[in-house]
C-alpha cells in the first residue's frame, strides 16, 4: 500500500467456564499478562505510570514491538507499525496466538476461553477493535473533508462486519452536542429491538455520534482526537473504533486495505462526491439490522441508494486513481470488486471470507438441523464460539481447516511475527530495544528490572511508541514511523 502505516488494537473477551468460578476474568487476564512477560519472557513491562488507569506493570512492549496490556479488565494487544497488509494480518494473528499459548501454558484451556469479539451477550457491554492509519498533516481533517470517510465507514460493514445474534437492549443514548449532554432519539425501529434475530455488525449498536474525541461512552464513527504518535508537524493518525474485530484474515486485510485506499482518495481530492448520508449513525445501525439485506440509505440529497451502490462508487474511484501503484493495492481492488459482486448474489458466496456471512451460514445450518428459534441460548453460545481463539474449538478456525476459509498468512509467518517486528518501520528499532533489555535482565546480577517500579527518574527504562529513555542516557526519539532506527538504536545502546 502506498505510503501508509497500519496498526490494529484488539480487546479480547474472556470467559471463565465454571458455574462458580474461583477467580474473576480480570484476575485471569492478569495471570495471562504476567505469564507472557515473566515466564515466557516475550517482552518488558512498563516501569512507570502511563496514566491513571495504567499503573506500573499494567502492560508493556513485546519483542515483536507490539504492546500487550490490560484495559478496563480486558487483555488488549496493539500490533506493531506495519506498511503492508501481509505484515499487519500476520502481526494481528500473532497477538491472538501469544495470548492463547499463555492460556495453554497456564493449564487453563479447560476453564478459560479467549474470545476475539466485541460484545458480551449477558451484559450488553462492548469492547473494541481500533484501527489506525497514518496520514499526512495536510489531510483535510474537517467535517467536510471527512464526509466521504463517514459514508464509506457506514457502508463498508457489508463486508467488514463480524455479525451477531440479537442487538443491544439499550445502547448509549446520551451524547454530547457542544457543551450539552442530550438524549439521542432512538432508531425508527426501536420498538422492535427485541425481535432483531441477527445483524451484520457487532459495534453498530454502540456508535452514537458521527464525530467525537473520546473513546468511551460517546463512541463515534470517526474519532477526532489528535494523537499522531509521530512527528505532529508531519503526520496525523486516523483512529477508528466503529469496526468489528475480524477473525477471517481475508476480512481483516480487506477492511484495512479498502479504508487505506479511501483515505488516499480523500488526500488526493479524488473521493466520490454527493454521497453524504442524511443520518449516518441511524444508517449504520439500520444497515446492520436489515433482515432483507437490501441495505438502503437516504442521502442528504434525499436520494435513496444501497450500500452496495455506494461501495461500488468508491471502488470505481479507487480503480481510476490507485490501480497499478503496487501489488497489494491491485489485490485489494480485485477482492473489493469480487466481494461486492458476490454480495449481490447471496451471502453464502462469502462463507470463509467474510465473518458475518460465515457465522450466519453456520447458525442457519445448526438452526435447521436442531429446529431452533433465533432466541435459543445455544445460538448465542455458537456465536461466541466462532470467535474462540482455541485452534481446536474456534468455529472460524474450523472453517479454515475444512478448506472454506481463505488464509493469507502461513503458520510460519505468524510464528515469525510472534517474536519479530516488521523490518521496514520503526517497530524494527523498538524490537531491538526490547530484546536488549530482556538480555540485560538475563545477564544481570539477579536484579529483575521488571520489578523495579518507581517514579520516572528512577526507572531503568521508559518506552513509548515514538520515543524511549534509558536510565542515565538522553531520550531517544523515533518520530518517523517509516524509518527503522535499528542502527541508531544499536549505537545508542552501545554508547550508553
Euclidean distance between CA atoms 385 and 114, whole angstroms: 10
**HEC readout, the chain:** CCCCCEEEEEECEEEECCCCCCCCHHHHHHHHHHHHHHHCCCEEECCCCCECCECCCCEEEECCCCEEEEECCEEEEECCCECCHHHHHHHHHHHHHHHHHHHHHCCCCCCEEEECCCECCCCCCECCEEEEEEEECCCCCCHHHHHHHHHHHHHHHHHHCCCEECCCCCCCCEEEECCEEEECCCCCCHHHHHHCCEECCCCHHHCCEEEECCCCCCCEEEECCCCCCCCCCCEEEEEECCCCCCCCHHHHHHHHHHHHHHHHHHHHCCCCCCCCECCHHHHHHHHHHCCCCCCEEEECCCCEEEHHHHHHHHHHHHHHHHCCCCHHHHHHHHHHHHHHHHHCCCHHHHCCCCHHHHHHHHHHHHHHHHCCCCCCHHHHHHHHHCCECCCCCCHHHHHHHCCCCCCCCCHHHHHHHHHCCCCCCCHHHHHHHHHHHHHHHHHCCCCCHHHCCCCHHHCCEEECCCEEEECCCCCEECCCCCCCCHHHHHHHHHHC
Residue partners of 34: CB distance under 8 A and separation at least 6: none
71 among known catalytic residues: yes
Q: What is the Cα Rg of the chain in Å? A: 22
Q: Which of 71, 96, 205, 210 is catalytic?
A: 71
> Which grid coordinates are listed for 133?
492509519
**Which residues are tagged catalytic?**
71
Amino acid at each position: 500500500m502506498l505510503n501508509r502505516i497500519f496498526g490494529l488494537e484488539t480487546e479480547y473477551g474472556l470467559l471463565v467456564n465454571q458455574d462458580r468460578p474461583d477467580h474473576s476474568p480480570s484476575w485471569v487476564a492478569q495471570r495471562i499478562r504476567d505469564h507472557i512477560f515473566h515466564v515466557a519472557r516475550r517482552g518488558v513491562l512498563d516501569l512507570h505510570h502511563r496514566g491513571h488507569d495504567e499503573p506500573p506493570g499494567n502492560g508493556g512492549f513485546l519483542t515483536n514491538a507490539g504492546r500487550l496490556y490490560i484495559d478496563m479488565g480486558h487483555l488488549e494487544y496493539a500490533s506493531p507499525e506495519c506498511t503492508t497488509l501481509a505484515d499487519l494480518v500476520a502481526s494481528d494473528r500473532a497477538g491472538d496466538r501469544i495470548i492463547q499459548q499463555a492460556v495453554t501454558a497456564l493449564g487453563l484451556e479447560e476453564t478459560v476461553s479467549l474470545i476475539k469479539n466485541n460484545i458480551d451477550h449477558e451484559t450488553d457491554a462492548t469492547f473494541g477493535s481500533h484501527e489506525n492509519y497514518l496520514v499526512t498533516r495536510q489531510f483535510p481533517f474537517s467535517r467536510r473533508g471527512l464526509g466521504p470517510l463517514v459514508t464509506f465507514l457506514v457502508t463498508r460493514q457489508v463486508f467488514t462486519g463480524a455479525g451477531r445474534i440479537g442487538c443491544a437492549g439499550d445502547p448509549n443514548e446520551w451524547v454530547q452536542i457542544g457543551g450539552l449532554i442530550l438524549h439521542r432519539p432512538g432508531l425508527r425501529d426501536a420498538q422492535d429491538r427485541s425481535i432483531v434475530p441477527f445483524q451484520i455488525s457487532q459495534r453498530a449498536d454502540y456508535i452514537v455520534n458521527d464525530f467525537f474525541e473520546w473513546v468511551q461512552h460517546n463512541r463515534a464513527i470517526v474519532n477526532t482526537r489528535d494523537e499522531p504518535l509521530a512527528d505532529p508537524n508531519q503526520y496525523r493518525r486516523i483512529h477508528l473504533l466503529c469496526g468489528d474485530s475480524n477473525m477471517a484474515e481475508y476480512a481483516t486485510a480487506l477492511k484495512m486495505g479498502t479504508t487505506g485506499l479511501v483515505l488516499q482518495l480523500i488526500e488526493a481530492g479524488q473521493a466520490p462526491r454527493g454521497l453524504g448520508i442524511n443520518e449516518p449513525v441511524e444508517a449504520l445501525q439500520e444497515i446492520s439490522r436489515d433482515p432483507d439485506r437490501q441495505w438502503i440509505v437516504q442521502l442528504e440529497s434525499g436520494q435513496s441508494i444501497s450500500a452496495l451502490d455506494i461501495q461500488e462508487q468508491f471502488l470505481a474511484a479507487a480503480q481510476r486513481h490507485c490501480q497499478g501503484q503496487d501489488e497489494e493495492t491491485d489485490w485489494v481492488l480485485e477482492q473489493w470488486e469480487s466481494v461486492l459482486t458476490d454480495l449481490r448474489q447471496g451471502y453464502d458466496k462469502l462463507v470463509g471470507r467474510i465473518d458475518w456471512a460465515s457465522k450466519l451460514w453456520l447458525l442457519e445450518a445448526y438452526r435447521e438441523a436442531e429446529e431452533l428459534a433465533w432466541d435459543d441460548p445455544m445460538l448465542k453460545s455458537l456465536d461466541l464460539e466462532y470467535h474462540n481463539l482455541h485452534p481446536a474449538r474456534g468455529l472460524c478456525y474450523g472453517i479454515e481447516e475444512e478448506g472454506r476459509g481463505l488464509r493469507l498468512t502461513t503458520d510460519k509467518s505468524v510464528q515469525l511475527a510472534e517474536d519479530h517486528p516488521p523490518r521496514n518501520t520503526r517497530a524494527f528499532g523498538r524490537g531491538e530495544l526490547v530484546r536488549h533489555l530482556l538480555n540485560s535482565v538475563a545477564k544481570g546480577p539477579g536484579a529483575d528490572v521488571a520489578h523495579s517500579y518507581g517514579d520516572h527518574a528512577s526507572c531503568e527504562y521508559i518506552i513509548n511508541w515514538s520515543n524511549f529513555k534509558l536510565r542515565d542516557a538522553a531520550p531517544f526519539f523515533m518520530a518517523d514511523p517509516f524509518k527503522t532506527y535499528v542502527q541508531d538504536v544499536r549505537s545508542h545502546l552501545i554508547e550508553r
